[in-house]
Chains A and B, each alone.
Chain A
Amino acid sequence: MWVEIFKRYFAVLLMGVVIKLLDDEVDQDEALRGLPESQLLRDLQRFKLPYSLFFLALAMVLDTNYSFGLFSSAYILGMFHIPQQRLPLKLKSYQETLVVVALNLILIPFGVFFQSFFIVTILQLIDDILDEEYDSTYGYFNFVKRYGRMEVTLVIAILTVASFMISWVNTLVILPTGIFINYLYSWW
């Protein structure tokens, strides 16, 4: 039991790093913020594709279901606000979302998929609440600006209760890890 929890924790940690790097790459944050000062971080920025692929492979070995569920949930949520846009694979964004959801429902258990989707949504909404000013300055999509702060807080509460109902151990493993990754990233 403890070995499983440790493996899941480590897999979620690696997956969080991968998702953060992917988010940066898609948002083109580098162009806005510029390169970091230290040489080590600059090298890390240059070689982030091999590192993130390696982290992804390692996380998949450690915990297949949750890694896949978390990664595809982040993928779905990332293109949530552009449903009509054509993506490079000649599919519209909502069609690709449907394909990914169908793959999830076929490949991994229902509970795992729904729980990871809920948790990724919770983390995204918390991040939106904290980053409201930054996002509205730079013109990123933000749930708080569109739907209001109280609504977002209530949705966070609902999703937290739902994910506790699905499995409370996994919620207690994954949710603090995600918040920790967010904290680590903002500090870095």
Chain B
Amino acid sequence: MFKFYGYIIIICLFNMLLGYSVGRRIGNKEGFEKGMSEVPLSLKLEYYQTSQCPVCSKEHGKGKTN
């Protein structure tokens, strides 16, 4: 009897494990895509607010010689 319940518990836990591991992989991929699509927007927002280049941190208009 103990063994029978043991098999049932193991099958249930294994299904949960399968769901969690597949979900983590899918979620990592989705999150990466979401982040990559948000990066240009946030960089542009930062540039408009501080007028400072996000790559080289040079302020707008300072580098020109004229």
Q: Taking beta carbons and an 8 Å cutoff, which residues of A are in contact with B?
A: 147-148, 150-151, 154-155, 157-158, 161-162, 164-165, 168
Instruction: Report chain A residues within 8 Å CB of B10.
Output: 158, 161-162
> A166 to chain B: closest CB distance in Å?
10
Name B15's closest neighbour in chain A (CB-CB).
A154
B2 near A154 with CB under 8 A, answer no
Instruction: Report chain A residues within 8 Å CB of B40.
Output: none
A165 near B24 with CB under 8 A, answer no
B20 near A150 with CB under 8 A, answer yes
Assuming the contacts A162-B6, A164-B6, A165-B3, asked whether A148 and B13 have C-beta atoms less than 8 A apart, the reply is no
Q: A-facing mask of B1-29, CB < 8 A → 1, else 0?
A: 01100110110011011001100100000
A165 near B13 with CB under 8 A, answer no
Interface of A: prevailing SS: helix
A-facing residues in B34-51 (Cβ within 8 Å): none
A154 near B13 with CB under 8 A, answer yes
Instruction: Report chain B residues within 8 Å CB of A155.
Output: 17
> B30 to chain A: closest CB distance in Å?
16
11 contacts between A and B (CB under 8 A): A148-B20, A148-B21, A151-B20, A154-B13, A154-B20, A155-B17, A157-B13, A158-B10, A161-B13, A164-B6, A165-B3
Assuming the contacts A147-B21, A150-B20, asked whether A158 and B6 have C-beta atoms less than 8 A apart, the reply is no
Assembly CA distance A165 to B10 (angstroms) = 10
Assuming the contacts A154-B13, A154-B16, A157-B13, asked whether A165 and B21 have C-beta atoms less than 8 A apart, the reply is no
Name A168's closest neighbour in chain B (CB-CB).
B2
Assembly CA distance A157 to B13 (angstroms) = 8
Instruction: Report chain B residues within 8 Å CB of A154.
Output: 13, 16-17, 20
Assembly CA distance A148 to B28 (angstroms) = 12
> A160 to chain B: closest CB distance in Å?
10
A148 near B24 with CB under 8 A, answer yes
Assembly CA distance A158 to B16 (angstroms) = 11
B21 near A161 with CB under 8 A, answer no
